[in-house]
Structures are given as C-alpha cells and as structure tokens.
Copies of this chain bind each other. A is one copy, B any other.
Amino acid sequence: MALEIERKFLVRGDFRPDVVNSTRIQQGYLCSAPERCVRVRLTGDQGFLTIKGGTSTSGLTRYEWEHQLPVTEALELLSLCEPGRIEKVRHRVDFAGKTFEVDEFGGDNQGLMIAELELEFEDEPFERPGWLGQEVTGDARYYNSSLIRKPYRDW
C-alpha cells in the first residue's frame, strides 16, 4: 500500500528562476469523488491511471495506486472521463535540496498556481522559498478533482 504525504501551497511570487523543467499535462476523471478518485493523465508521451483514496484526518496522507498506460490507452480512457478536463503545465522547481512541483493551470482554471511538496513524514521540516504563499493542504477546493466541477474561473 502506497501512501503519499504532500503539502500544498499557493504561489505568490516568481518561481521561474528555479525551474528545472516543465511538462504539459492533461487529465480527466473517471470518478472525481474525494474519497475514491480515478484519474487518467497524459503527461508528455506517458499515460497514467491513478486511483486515490480519501485523505487522512490531517489532510496530508492519501492512499495512491498507479499504473502506467500507453498513450493510445490513455487517450481512449480520457474519452470516457466525466465532462471537464484539467490542463496545466507542471514546473519542477528545485529549492534548498527539495523539489517543488508548481502547477500552472490553463483553461477554466487559468490564473491558479499551486506548489506541491512531497515529504517523507508528516512533520518533516523544509526551507520555504520566497515565492511560496499560503498553505492550502487539505482544502478540497484545490483538489484537481474539485477544479473540474468548480473551476477557479467561477470562484
């Protein structure tokens, strides 16, 4: 059983000088329920099917199952997904020995940027870059599965 421990933050400054690489991502949901989401993602030339459980009471830990897909299968499964699609560019940003993933959303979520940091344990310390804004870990509005139903444009 894989558990991911992740903290999420808004972005309030310019992270671009620290970007290592950037990848375009499109993803849809076969199921976007917060307690059992089934995601289809196409990132560059790789597809992934990912199943996530609900978050722990702390909001940081979540069961995750993942399987790699050929692009053709990812496209077939994307066509079955619920209406709505997440489009974003994911920037890998290295800072003080840690890797942040900054998602810059497009489409109906244009203007939203979220930084994610994966940790080994829940209270692991890390250095905050200057562009890191308010923490939104566990705030369901910022789940990608929520942004499909209620995009940032409509907030």
Q: Which chain B positions have C-beta within 8 A of A73?
A: 65
Is A132 on the interface with B (CB-CB < 8 A)?
A: no
- A76-117: contact bitstring with B at CB < 8 Å (1 yes, 0 no)? 110011100000000000000000000000000000000000
CB distance from A91 to the nearest CB of B (A): 31
Interface hits, A38-79 → B, CB 8 Å: 38, 49, 51, 53, 63, 65, 67, 72-73, 76-77
Chain A: interface residue total (CB-CB under 8 A): 20
Contact yes or no, A76 B1, CB < 8 A: yes
Contact yes or no, B80 A36, CB < 8 A: yes
Is A119 on the interface with B (CB-CB < 8 A)?
A: no
Q: Among B31, B65, B80, B82, which residue has its beta carbon within 8 angstroms of that of A77?
A: B65
Q: A residues bordering B, Cβ < 8 Å?
A: 1, 30-31, 33, 35-36, 38, 49, 51, 53, 63, 65, 67, 72-73, 76-77, 80-82
Q: List 6 tightest A-B contacts by C-beta distance, closest first.
A: A31-B31, A36-B80, A53-B80, A30-B36, A38-B38, A30-B38
